[in-house]
Chain A
């Protein structure tokens, strides 16, 4: 850290460092164990669970990718998450703009109704949602995950975007109004650039939530070629639960990109994931 102080550590600080490092390393060890085991053979995982692989079996990854159809799972997850996040953050930003900047009939009532989702766990509507999607002929299509995924993320996103709008004074928007701009121009050219940082945080928060969504994906998709990563991984584990090396390789392929992205964008990711509690 750049502003780390350089005076000598006191005994108390040494103790703090020792305890903290022990706990953190113990917590991080399962992740390291997963990556190292992904390079081993099954026999080596059983015989020598600790330590580095004797020879690094990169072919485990190629096999897991092939056997698990991970390419297809990745593609489906990207399509579902990307579409749902764009819909959710776009709709929520427009709505938050209207709720905080404009006057219209039913404003307060609609805002309150939109927040109902904050306290409701998604499993609560899984069953009626299932029959609704079936009636719409959307079961077993990626829309069965995109539309409910975006809709369920709206409450939190509208709420957080509205409080961000409320924290910024409407001066610039009012100035643009005096200059003769209409509301749509103001929204697109003044407000959106102004709340862009908050939108980015919402993109990260919703991407992580929707990317990891399991229960809808489990219930609304039965075709193997429409599955997303979380369900694919559960099924893969179910079929190959005794082939440790293969499952570890699949786990590693699916988590390392996300971990790498996290360590690169740490500040933004943490801001996104804690936005709920900070508000």
Chain B
């Protein structure tokens, strides 16, 4: 429409706020990452020492193992489960609209509320899960889900699935609605059963949505903090320590803000490289396919 520097006034407030509270801290993070700094006395330049320490810090390395397992878990319990429920809840019949609404509802709860609620659900003595297992005669399966290393990470994946699968269900459901019914009818006439229809029609047509959902789950998973903080805070014995919880502990419990910042820089680089590699790879796969 019009042109000129006066138009900058429209973007100035957003750019100023973004510059001050996103870009400036980001730039200073890169500087602090190369310093030893307790938050009170001025930071002292130490070169790559923090990064050398980070790659020798076993808890930090294991945090990436845990978060990778967690992300794989969320791909199953959030994305795949959400897709399954979208297919299952895709019907105009009475009651299905209400069921979709109920299935999505954990999404609007805060992470805190969901976390505290599930701390009670998973409690060994009085939790809902163990009470249900005991009520149906499966006493042997009742266990202290969050306080033993072998099940804690798995339990958090389940909570995450409960909280977020509704999001993926709604995304896939909206996409399913755009697939013309005539395709399914033609397939049915050719003798394709429900599973053949799912794998040869639904899944290929949802490919683009699936790629977006996987990207959301992966980038969101790396930054996962809230549920871990509330349910286990990294425990028991570090079994659920993930990058975000470890960073906060180093920086704010140990007052090692320089080291903590170096860990955040590593996290940012990891998340961005995975996202960019994933986008690059999925675009290439798309090209070779057609």
Is A277 interfacial (CB-CB < 8 Å)? Answer: yes
Judge whether A17 and B93 touch: CB under 8 Å.
Answer: yes
Q: B21-45: contact bitstring with A at CB < 8 Å (1 yes, 0 no)?
A: 1111110110010000001000000
A102–B2 touching, CB < 8 Å: yes
Contact with B along A148-192 (1 / 0, CB 8 A): 101110110010000000000010011001000001001100000
- Chain B: interface secondary structure? helix
B 219-253 binary contact with A (CB < 8 Å = 1; else 0): 10011011001100000000000001001100110
A151 close to B17 (CB less than 8 A): yes
Q: Which residue of A lies closest to B32 (CB)?
A: A128
Q: Which of A227-279 contact B (CB under 8 A)?
A: 229-231, 233-234, 237, 241, 244, 247-248, 251, 254-255, 258-259, 262-263, 266, 269-270, 273-274, 276-278
Query: Which A residues touch B171, using CB under 8 A?
Result: 274, 277-278
A130-155: which residues lie under 8 A (CB-CB) from chain B?
130-132, 147-148, 150-152, 154-155
- Find residues 89-108 in chain B having any chain A CB closer than 8 Å to their own CB: 89, 91-97, 99, 101-108
Nearest residue, chain B, Cβ from A231: B112
Q: Are B1 and A128 in contact (CB under 8 A)?
A: no
Given that A1-B97, A151-B21, A154-B14 are known contacts, is A212 also in contact with B110, CB under 8 Å in the complex?
yes
User: B72 interface residue, CB < 8 Å from A?
Assistant: no
B117 contact from A16, A34, A130, A214, Cβ within 8 A: A34
Q: How far is the CA of A254 from the CA of B109 in the complex (A)?
A: 9
Main secondary structure of the interface of A (DSSP, over half): helix
Interface presence of B7 (CB below 8 A):
yes
- Asked if residues B92 and A4 are in contact (CB atoms below 8 Å), the reply is yes
**Residue B113 at the chain A interface, CB threshold 8 Å:** yes
Q: Give the CA-CA distance A231 to B110 in the complex, in Å.
A: 11
Whether A30 touches B24, Cβ cut-off 8 Å, given contacts A1-B96, A259-B108, A262-B108, is: no
B residues in contact (CB < 8 Å) with A:
1-8, 10-11, 13-15, 17-18, 20-26, 28-29, 32, 39, 85, 88-89, 91-97, 99, 101-113, 115-121, 125-126, 128, 131, 135, 162, 167, 170-171, 174, 194, 209, 212-213, 216, 219, 222-223, 225-226, 229-230, 244, 247-248, 251-252, 257, 260-261, 264-265, 267-268, 271-272, 275
Q: List 30 A-B contacts (CB under 8 A).
A: A1-B92, A4-B93, A29-B128, A34-B117, A49-B128, A50-B131, A50-B135, A98-B11, A102-B10, A110-B15, A114-B14, A119-B219, A119-B271, A121-B267, A121-B268, A125-B22, A126-B248, A147-B17, A154-B18, A170-B1, A183-B10, A214-B111, A237-B116, A237-B230, A244-B126, A258-B108, A259-B108, A262-B108, A274-B174, A277-B213
List 5 additional A-B contacts (Cβ < 8 Å) besides A151-B17, A278-B171. A3-B92, A101-B1, A122-B223, A187-B10, A274-B171
Q: Footprint of B on A, CB under 8 Å?
A: 1, 3-5, 9, 12-13, 16-17, 19-21, 23-24, 27-31, 33-34, 37, 45-46, 49-50, 87, 90-92, 94-95, 97-99, 101-106, 110, 113-114, 116-117, 119-132, 147-148, 150-152, 154-155, 158, 170, 173-174, 177, 183, 186-187, 208, 211-212, 214-215, 218-219, 229-231, 233-234, 237, 241, 244, 247-248, 251, 254-255, 258-259, 262-263, 266, 269-270, 273-274, 276-278
